[in-house]
Amino acid sequence: MCGIAGYIGNKKASELLLSSLKRLEYRGYDSCGMAVILNNDISLKKDVGKIDDVHKKLNFTELDGTIGIAHTRWSTHGAVTQKNAHPHLSDNKKIAVVHNGIIENYQQLKEMLTKEEISFYGETDTEVIPNLIQFEMKDKSFEDACFAAFKQLEGNYAILAIHADEKKIVAARNGSPLVIGVGENEYFAASDIPAFLEYTPNVIYLHDKDVVIFDGKMRIFNLGENRQVERPIDSVKWSVEQAKKGDFDHFMLKEISEQVETVQKAISQDKKDLFMIADEMKKAKGVFFVACGTSYHACLSASYIFSKITGLHINVVLGSEFSNYEHFLKEDTLVIAVSQSGETIDVLDAVKTAKKKNSKVISIVNVMGSSLHRNSDHTIMMNAGPEICVLSTKTYTSQLAILTLLAYTLAGRYEEGKDKLKYLWNSIYNLTSANTRSHIKQLADKLQHSQHIFTIGRGLQYPTALEAALKIKEVSYIHAEGFSGGELKHGTIALIEEGTPCIVFVSSENEKEIISNAMEIKARGGYIIGISSKNNEVFDYFIKVPEAGDTNPICQIIPIQILAYQLALLRGCDPDKPRNLAKSVTVK
């Protein structure tokens, strides 16, 4: 979940690392820090708080030197304190480490190192890493000690390590994201490409158990293969501007506004790829969609579309629960894994489970070279560009567009599906316009002090209701819950009282039933917000969204993305960096 960055070259490391950290802050923002090598010493600064606040207090750029590592934290082991912030030093203060992931056997390692009279000052699992390297250096070089230490670590990790007396960085990856940027006489290492995209578009995607030595040149070894390996250099097609806010106040608003373009890109897939996947789905004896969070809602929505137009039953399973379905997996089972980052640990574990059973794995992912991309038999790239805001917006509608087009392809109606999605472009443009944002701002003014918001829908609108509730609570911290309209009277309606807001998603297919549910809520004092193609007397507030049939989920979620954003602003929340959340969930 954390963001790590490293630099070695001829420039001032602290300035480049500070820039990299700011671009990685979406991965964690509890605390941050930096360590730079200078004159056989490690200069270290770290503290609790967001990067800009800590920089104002400590001034990272005072650190001189051309080799350094940095970190922005999303806490897992240990409280949010200055001591627990990264980088972490070894007991002898010679080694500094930044780390993303979880060392599962850190307690055993800590106990062993403590018996060797090595002292610890914090509560994190990371601190065992520099101390383990120090212990191994009793009879090894720094480089060899790193290899020996990394082989003893259990769990997922991305690590950057430096030594005061060595002009080098040692990097390691196993399960947690780490990419290498290759510049002219300089190298970058980071959790994600935007960290160094301003300086180089040339990227190396590391494999699990890769260890990289940077010492003026670069050598890559793989611990599993126990040999030196070659990894290709790719060129990233994202522009630097795509990873910047531009004229927008927040990435969330920028990414909401980009959805006309990203839906266009999503359906500009190679036709042959879609037909190939459709053939695999026809041949499979069972098809699973596996995803987490927002991507799960996209899969759930798509399962309704597949059922309706193809007659194919899709098993939609949360990544974290997938192991419970392991006994259904066979060689002729198809698993379609969906993830924005391609690094979601629960989805990757599900893929590993499928691979053990020799099931075929196809992925829909936004990040080229990600773990999911590399571990799939085939991949459809979303091509949405970098999504920096912690909340998924444009990638949700991109996933919906791809899955919808895949369903139409499987039904032998590819051109019809593509035309339906093209028809949305004008609607999406209008829904993301300044006029629509102003109309929704008026609603946000009314709802900003609410303690609870409910969302309901039927059929395709049910997954939309789930995603809408997730968006609201993720960024505004208002308790929100999504339900099938038919389930209200099975308990939830007991929570409705005078003024309770309820957002109702309406389509032409379910209008009578869902309006009846809305009336039940209004009869008990609820405040009804209608998302529909036409107004209804039951609505206290109306947001017009054109009727789009099977593609309703793409259009109907956009007003709620905007509402969530407006609520966050009114309640003093940071839309791009909600508390306790991080963009890529790389730990269990």
Question: What would the two tokens of residue 109 be?
Answer: 């390692």
Instruction: Mark residue 55 as left, alpha or beta (left: phi above 0; alpha: psi -120 to 50; beta: remaining).
Output: alpha
Question: What would the two tokens of residue 116 be?
Answer: 């060797």
Are residues 38 and 49 in contact, defined by beta-carbon separation less than 8 angstroms?
no
d(CA 201, CA 531): 42
Cα 580 to Cα 61, 76, 476: the distances in Å are 28, 10, 13
d(CA 351, CA 362): 9
Cβ burial 71-97 (10 Å sphere, 16+ → b, else e): bbbbbbebeeeebbbbbbbbbeebbbb
d(CA 121, CA 46): 14
Nearest CA among 86, 83, 60, 54 for reference residue 161 = 86
Question: What would the two tokens of residue 336 be?
Answer: 């379609």
Are residues 263 and 257 in contact, defined by beta-carbon separation less than 8 angstroms?
no
CA dihedral over 121, 127, 128, 133, signed as positive or negative: negative
Containing 217, the helix (H) or strand (E) segment is none
Q: Which residues carry out catalysis?
A: 2, 583
Question: What would the two tokens of residue 221 be?
Answer: 């070894």
